[in-house]
Amino acid sequence: MNAVVGRGKYAKAAVDASKMLQPAAMHKGCRSSSSIGQASCGSRAGQGDLPTAIWEKVKNHPCYSEQAHHHYARMHVAVAPACNIQCNYCNRKYDCANESRPGVVSEKLTPEQAVKKALAVAATIPQMTVLGIAGPGDPLANPEKTFKTFELVAKAAPDIKLCLSTNGLSLPDYVDVIARSGIDHVTITINMIDPEIGAKIYPWIFFNHRRYTGIDAARILTDRQLQGLQMLSERGILCKVNSVMIPQINDHHLVEVNKAVKSRGAFLHNIMPLISAPEYGTVFGLNGQRGPTAQELKALQDACEGEMNMMRHCRQCRADAVGLLGEDRSAEFTTDEVIKMDVEYDLEIRKAYQDRVEDERAAKAAASKEELGRLAGKTSEISLLVAVATKGSGLINEHFGHAKEFQVYELSTSGTKFVGHRRVDVYCQGGYDEDDRLSTIIRGINDCHAVFVAKIGGSPKSNLIKAGIEPVDQYAHDFIDKSAVAWFRSYLDRVKSGEIQHVKRGDASIRQGAPISAA
Ligand code: CLF
Ligand code: SF4
């Protein structure tokens, strides 16, 4: 039996490390192909071959399901200020950079303030389905506040899923508490399984009342992370692994990390770009360590994509993020604003709203399936990228000039696959410097063959055409997947008839080491 360490309600279990670290039965994860109607971690349209219990956990979680992120929102509550390790991409003045952009500071809350905020958000945003604790330090370095918050939220708002993100150092000690608390989703940031590489990322950890440095610190950290992952998987808790891609330090190594976490039951792997602008004052930022380019990130994600699903829609949120991924509504829910609100949390209203969302999703999936049926039988080696301006709901519903980002899809005769997003400067800002902004936008999507928009003006349209990117506005306010497949079918027809020639496009030259998300 495990001994119990600490006191109080959230006392942790000390774990016999010798029993750990043997790979769990390989969790098959999910296929990564995203042809409409196929399963893939619930990350596309339907349940497919996912067991119902897992489908229920992922179908409306915006991070665990790529499709869900168009429709459902998450919120974070910043109740966990302390941390027990130091990462070289983190400046401790700010929030935990494992699930947060460096340079962002969240308003810290007590558990009681956090639950009030959760109810206020749930009443205002009925599609908010997940409450996560992701900082501003490490949630498990603040166990009392973290688990008290989850307990209060579970009582007050039982339809909200609970989600936790941790660096993993304390994880094995809290697996039982996590399971007891009804937390179904846990993210562990794992950047290495080789302590020599780890020593370049983590200068120190604080463990068992002692500070460890260098290779010793990294060895303890990797053992504890993998041990915690395996224990959670064995209890049926869905685990996502986040990894920060740091060129020349762990980029190639992350393929090994992917294999190691897959064999221990991780459900999803999210490889995120290092953000290392010098102004954030991190060790990597100050010593000139660069982040990966968009195509370096995609190449690594592609290399890791096998039996295990890769998350490609992460927005590196704030520790107090609120809203759909990619939007930031945290300013509407500051403590001062929440106090003023007359909150009425109504489970029935929320359920009715979410039922309507599910109807919309079903209609979208049916439309996509029908369009894909028309593509069936076409054979072609052509695979290309397109950029889409969207405000959400899986629709092409944003004007080119208002887009803050473009979502990028890969098209082939197998269908559509979401491969990432490109943050850009908004083109329309009152008429000045538009040429400069347009060239930056074009550089950001210059590996795409087309850009789908709800509307576009004459000048950007002609400049895009000159740059070899086809502006497509005939599918305004229609579903993305369906429209992309329809356009791709016509593209293949035009190539076949000789009307156009297919040329491979160059790689996006944008550097994702700059801030790429504001959510
Ligand atoms: Fe938050 Fe993380 Fe839960 Fe999502 S975020 S704790 S799993 S509810 Fe999501 Fe944000 Fe990326 Fe995290 S987009 S940073 S992966
Ligand atoms: Fe910063 Fe998070 Fe790393 Fe702690 S775990 S040092 S808060 S990035």
pLDDT band at 104 (very low <50, low <70, confident <90, very high): low
* 410 and 280 belong to one structural domain: no
Q: What is the pTM of this model?
A: 0.83
Cβ neighbors of 453 (< 8 A, separation 6 or more) are 389, 396, 398, 399, 400, 403, 471, 472, 473, 476
Of 79, 84, 86, the one to substitute when testing ligand 2's pocket (max ligand atoms within 8 A of C-beta) is 86
Average per-residue pLDDT in the chain? 85
> How far is residue 42's CA from residue 60's CA, in Å, rounded to a whole number?
9
Nearest to 283 by CA among 84, 83, 91, 85: 91
Specify the residue for token string 């969207």: 390
254 phi and psi angles, rounded to 5 deg: -65, -20
Task: Answer whether 272 contacts ligand 1 (Cβ < 6 A).
Answer: no
Confidence of residue 23 (pLDDT cuts 50, 70, 90): very low
In this structure, is residue 319 part of a structural domain? yes
Domain boundary among 283, 318, 339: 339
* Domain-embedded: residue 519: no
Examine the domain organization and report whether 212 and 143 are in the same domain.
Answer: yes
Domain assignment present for residue 371? The answer is: no
Per-residue confidence (pLDDT) for residue 506, from 0 to 100: 66
Q: Taking a C-beta distance cutoff of 8 angstroms, is the pair 132, 78 a contact?
A: no
Alpha helices in 125-274 (DSSP H): 143-156, 171-180, 195-201, 214-234, 254-263
Q: Which ligand is nearest to the CA of 166?
A: 2
97 lines ligand 1 (CB under 6 A): no
Alpha-carbon dihedral sign for residues 11, 16, 19, 22 = positive
Contacts of 252 (CB under 8 A, 6+ apart): none
- How large is the angle between the packed helices 254-263 and 214-234, nearest 10 degrees? 40
Over residues 377-396, the pLDDT tens digits come to 788 899 999 999 998 888 99
Per the structure, the complete domain to which residue 406 belongs is given by: 376-513
* Residue minimizing CA distance to atom 3 of ligand 2: 87
Q: Provide the 10 A C-beta neighbour count for residue 235.
A: 12
Q: Which ligand is nearest to the CA of 201?
A: 2
Q: Verify whether ligand 1 is closer than 6 Å to residue 317 (CB atom).
A: yes
Q: What is the mean pLDDT of residues 414-422?
A: 89
Beta-sheet strand order (sheet of 470-472):
415-423, 405-412, 384-388, 448-452, 470-472
| Domain C-terminal end among 322, 339, 356 | 339
Report how far residue 238's alpha carbon sits from residue 96's, in angstroms, rounded to the nearest whole number. Answer: 22
> According to the model, what pLDDT value does residue 509 have?
41
What is the per-residue pLDDT for 436? 77
Q: Is the pLDDT of residue 17 over 80?
A: no
- Domain of 180: which CATH number? 3.20.20.70
Is 250 close to ligand 2, i.e. is its CB under 6 Å away? no
- Both tokens of 354, joined, read 């979410």
Residues 445 and 503 in one domain: yes
Ligand 1 centroid to residue 317 C-alpha, Å: 7
Mean pLDDT calculated for residue range 344-370? 89
* DSSP 8-state symbol, 452: E
Mean per-residue pLDDT, 121-137 = 92
* 104 close to 78: Cβ distance less than 8 angstroms: no
Torsion of CA 95, 98, 103, 107, to 10 degrees: -30
User: In the beta sheet, which residues pair with residue 130?
Assistant: 74, 161
CA-closest candidate to residue 45, choices 30, 35, 56: 35
d(CA 203, CA 201): 7
> Bridge partners of 12?
5
Local confidence band at 439 (pLDDT 50, 70, 90 cut-offs): confident
Least confident of 71-85, 292-306, 480-494: 292-306
Nearest of 75, 80, 51 to residue 61 by alpha carbon? 75
User: What mean pLDDT comes out for the span 190-218?
Assistant: 97
What is the reported pLDDT for 37?
34
Tell me, in angstroms, the distance from the centre of ligand 1 to residue 99's CA: 6
Mean pLDDT of 93-116: 77
Q: Using one digit for the tens of pLDDT, what is the confidence trace for 475-513?
A: 999 999 999 999 999 999 999 999 999 988 865 443 333
Contact 69, 391 (CB under 8 A): no
Q: Which one is predicted more confidently, 20 or 101? A: 101
Q: Is the pLDDT of residue 5 over 90?
A: no
- Buried b / exposed e over 11-22, threshold 16 CB at 10 Å, is ebbebeeeebee
pLDDT tens-place string over residues 25-40: 333 333 333 333 333 3
For the residues 132-149, what does the mean pLDDT come to?
94
pLDDT(515) > 90 = no
Tell the residue nearest (CA) to atom 5 of ligand 2. Answer: 167
**Which pLDDT belongs to residue 2?**
39
The CATH number given to whatever domain includes residue 460 is 3.30.420.130
Rounded average pLDDT over 98-110: 71
How many domains, in total, are found in the chain?
A: 2
User: What is the predicted pLDDT for the residue at 46?
Assistant: 61
- Ligand 1 pocket, residue 101 CB under 6 Å: no
pLDDT in tens, 421-431: 888 888 887 66
Instruction: Name the more confident of 228 and 430.
Output: 228
Lowest-pLDDT range, 14-23, 205-214, 349-358, 472-481?
14-23
Q: Tell me the CA–centroid distance for residue 115 and ligand 2, in Å.
A: 24
